[in-house]
Amino acid sequence: MAQQHGIIVLIDVANALESRTLDGNAYWFDNMKFLGSAGEGTQQLVTIVPGTYYMDGSQATEQVLNWLPAALGAIPPTVPVNYHAERAQQTDRQALEQLAALTEATGIGAGTGVERIQGEVGRRARRPRGSRSLTTGKVLDVTGQVAGTDPTAAYNYPKPVITGITGQAVDEKIMYPAQYGSPDMVYDGWYWAATVDTSRPGVYPYRMDVQLHELVERDGELVWESVNLACDSALKITAEPKVNGFTHAGLGALPVPATPPTA
């Protein structure tokens, strides 16, 4: 069975949008540090990929990479997938109740009360053409509450979206990346993965294309505008014989004594 490698790309979306670059705004992590991955938590991650072989020199198994993007300081992607819709419906119900109470008490046109309710209802942002993994909906702030009438000051950034993986590691057919469907809705049912040919040890860089989304106001309405950026990482494939995980020796029978040891 292929070994699974998890790679998390944590992006400071606010700074990346302001500077229009992922240099210094992307932090890479993987689960292979114990085997020698270097640059954990930086933008110079080199992921170790053990190339396992049988004693006769033949390749034992391929390795699989899985990339998971995340936005720094955003609402965690592990919240229920319908969280945004439920929060929007809840604020609509609260606004209707408050508006009914305000109308009964003072009549229609109570300026201060209506303005307060409008702020609590928030505003919607639509999805432009060409945007990935976004739907039109209310804008939430970083605490999960519906943003007010001026949500551009502090709002929850949508998670980054991987749009492509290229570079030397792909051109030389060291890895074969693709986007796959998944029943896990944490990432909207899509994720990027790649199988790795471990028969050629060496260091192979690759580039990841990422789409971020910036909230802008156009013609009196809020729009999620896509911003395409890129960041770099690398794989380091090593050549090691496949060994027994218990004895660290070659494949074969475990050194189990014929009779149980006596006390």
Band (8; pLDDT cuts 50, 70, 90): very high
Residue 224 to residues 14, 15, 80, 131, 156: CA-CA distances in angstroms? 14, 17, 22, 8, 12
Model confidence, pTM: 0.70
CA neighbor of 196 nearest in space, from 1, 6, 2, 55: 2
3-class secondary-structure state, position 2: coil
What CA–CA distance (Å, rounded) separates 64 from 194? 6
What CA–CA distance (Å, rounded) separates 74 from 157? 6
**Residues facing 53 on adjacent strands:** 59, 241
Q: Is the predicted pLDDT of residue 107 greater than 60, yes or no?
A: no
Pairing of strands 124-126, 137-138: antiparallel
Pairing of strands 26-30, 3-11: antiparallel
pLDDT by residue (tens digit) across 36-73? Answer: 899 999 999 999 998 766 666 666 667 899 999 999 87
- What pLDDT, on the 0 to 100 scale, is given for residue 43? 92
| Residues 6+ positions from 142 with CB-CB distance below 8 Å | 73, 74, 75, 154, 155, 156
- What pLDDT, on the 0 to 100 scale, is given for residue 1? 43
Q: What is the CATH number of domain 3-74+157-212+225-241?
A: 2.60.40.3910
What CA–CA distance (Å, rounded) separates 214 from 134? 12
Q: Which two tokens stand for residue 25?
A: 């705004």
pLDDT by residue (tens digit) across 128-180? Answer: 555 544 544 566 665 556 665 554 556 778 889 999 999 999 999 999 999 98
Residue 205 to residues 38, 42, 185, 221, 245: CA-CA distances in angstroms? 13, 15, 30, 41, 30
DSSP 116-140: HHHHHH--EEEPPTT--S---EE-B
What CA–CA distance (Å, rounded) separates 213 from 160? 8
Query: What DSSP character marks residue 72?
Result: T
Q: Are 25 and 11 in contact (CB under 8 A)?
A: yes
The full set of domain ranges for the chain reads 3-74+157-212+225-241, 83-153
Q: Is the predicted pLDDT of residue 187 greater than 50, yes or no?
A: yes
- What pLDDT, on the 0 to 100 scale, is given for residue 92? 65
Q: Are 67 and 7 in contact (CB under 8 A)?
A: yes
Element (H, E) at 15: helix 13-19
Residue at 108: amino acid letter: I
**Residues facing 176 on adjacent strands:** 195
